[in-house]
Structure 1
Amino acid sequence: MTGNIRAHRPGPAAWAMLTWTEAKLVWRDTSGVIIPLGLPMLIMVMNGLGSDGSAIPEFGGLSAFEAYVVPLTIAMVVALVGVVNMPSFLATYRHTGVLRRLSVTPAHPTLVLLAQVVVSLVQSVIGVLLALGLAVALFDASLPRGLLAAIGVFLLVAAAMYALGTLVAAISPTTNSSIAIGLVVFFAMLAAGGGFGPRENLPTWLATIGEYLPFGAGLDALTATWMGAAPELQHIAVLVGTTVLAAGAAVKLFRWT
């Protein structure tokens, strides 16, 4: 009987139901809603209030708020949700035995990973859209001049951050350790990648490292799309490389029990 159960693979309808269940569980968690939805709007408003909206030639006539702060907020939101928020849910499922119980049912634990990534991505998209809406409505910010390129870069940044988040979940034995490791990774990328100010203010060696981390590469690529320029290939390569390497390592190291 067990062999027959294992032989049966759940179809798209079962996976869709699992994803919907994951969405409801995340929605009931206060931090699972406030961080991806409320934090982006708060960051955008705080930075917008401190901007004078002056056009800067180096940014193609855009203000620093439009060309730097808006892409920075987007990259920050995706990194926070992907590297900190999502792994905490996966670590909780392992710690409470959810993944172990799923391993003996047709709903393989891998489906939980996929469902959690989809739910987190939807959260990130909603959070970014809300923040962008506030930036446009309250501070007259412009949308990216290279809109399609910006969407493509956003998806690459999300893929890189979720791959890192899955790796964090893979090596974290408990929920608290997942949050701790995720926060260390998040703030390290943020500090070196320009999250606390332009990288030009950092030592040369640290600024160089920051540019080749996924946060710095994603920020530079998003900034380029806002100005209507093509993202540099090295930044795209960093995002793709991070996705492949982190996802591969997570598959090797992830423990279901």
Structure 2
Amino acid sequence: MNKLIRTEAKLTLREPIGMAFSLLLPLGIVLAFGLSGSASEADPELDGQVPLDTVLPSLALALSFGMLAVFMLPGFMADYRMRGILRRLSTTPVHPARLLAAQVVVQFVIALISVPLVLGLAIALGMNTPEQPLMALVVIVLGGAALFAVGTLVSAVAPDAKVGYVYSAAFFFPSLFFAGIWLPKEQMPDWLSRFGDFTPLGAFRESLENAFAGTGQDPLMLLTLAVTAVLASTIAARVFRWE
């Protein structure tokens, strides 16, 4: 397994553009909005929260994890399938679940790199350190597991890279809306905001924001992440095909 992970890591590093974009775009968002003086002040439209302390870093991390899990991971796997790499691997003892796991590990590590980058930049701009750092870590691991499970499911069913990107976009872009990345959840109708709390990306971002703010966690959102991680990964392992 370690050899497979090293191999996938080398292949991923040969395609640095997508990886760099997934890391730099969230930093750009924090920098663009964090430089504003209002980002360090309590915003009544965000229920009195300080955007730089809660909303901006949680948004940036959700975006980074989402892009790597739902776009980068399926993109690599669909490209392997289209070029016949998976077909050739099918003649070896490598089980498809191990290949999926290796790619998840590689992309997850890259996503984790975004955490100190985003938080370091936000703190440099004046962010207060998270109120519940251990809970934030739990949410990052659990939310990351849920998003990457969705990515493995897309990887398992996409026949080629083009269709894979269609599947990824069909999940990712509506998820951005429900997670409050396009429109703050505080400005949504209550029923729509609550619905977004039970989407994987929405539950991840909201739970992370709660950890940064030091407010109580919603057990149902954490349960959403756990159930998504288990179900999506289990289905992906069962429906994955080499061709």
Match of 2:220, as an amino acid?
Answer: Q
Q: Does 1:210 align with 2:216?
A: no
* Match for residue 252 of structure 1 among 225, 238, 242: 238
From the CA coordinates, give the structure whose radius of gyration is larger. 1
Q: CA RMSD in A?
A: 2.0
CA contact (8 A) 2:19 2:68 kept: no
Asked if 1:104 corresponds to 2:91, the answer is: yes
Q: Identity, % of aligned pairs? A: 37
Map 1:145-184 onto structure 2 (within 5 A).
145-184=131-170
Given residue 180 of structure 2, which amino acid in structure 1 is its aligned partner? G
Residue 56 of structure 1 deviates from its aligned partner by 5.3
Q: Which TM-score applies when normalising by structure 2?
A: 0.92
Residue 46 (structure 1) aligns with: 32
Ranges in structure 2 where 5+ consecutive residues have no aligned partner: none
Asked if residue 201 in structure 1 is aligned to residue 193 in structure 2, the reply is: no
- The change in CA–CA distance for 1:191 and 1:57 in structure 2 (over 3 A counts) is closer
SS at match of 1:158: helix
Structure 1: where are the runs of 5+ without partners? 1-14
User: Which range moves more in the overlay, 53-62 or 27-36?
Assistant: 53-62
> Structure 2 matches for 1:1-257, cutoff 5 A?
15-52=1-38, 53-55=40-42, 63-137=50-124, 139-257=125-243
Superposition deviation, residue 73 in structure 1 = 0.9
**Distance in structure 2 (CA, Å) of the matches to 1:28 and 1:35:** 14
SS in 1 for 2:93: coil
Q: Distance in 2 between matches of 1:235 and 1:145?
A: 19
Q: Which structure 1 residue ranges, 4+ long, deviate > 6 Å from structure 2? A: 57-61
Return the TM-score normalized by structure 1: 0.87
Shift of 1:107: 2.7
Report how many residues are paired: 242
Q: Is the 8 A contact 1:54 1:63 kept in 2?
A: yes
Which shows bigger deviation, 215-224 or 51-60?
51-60
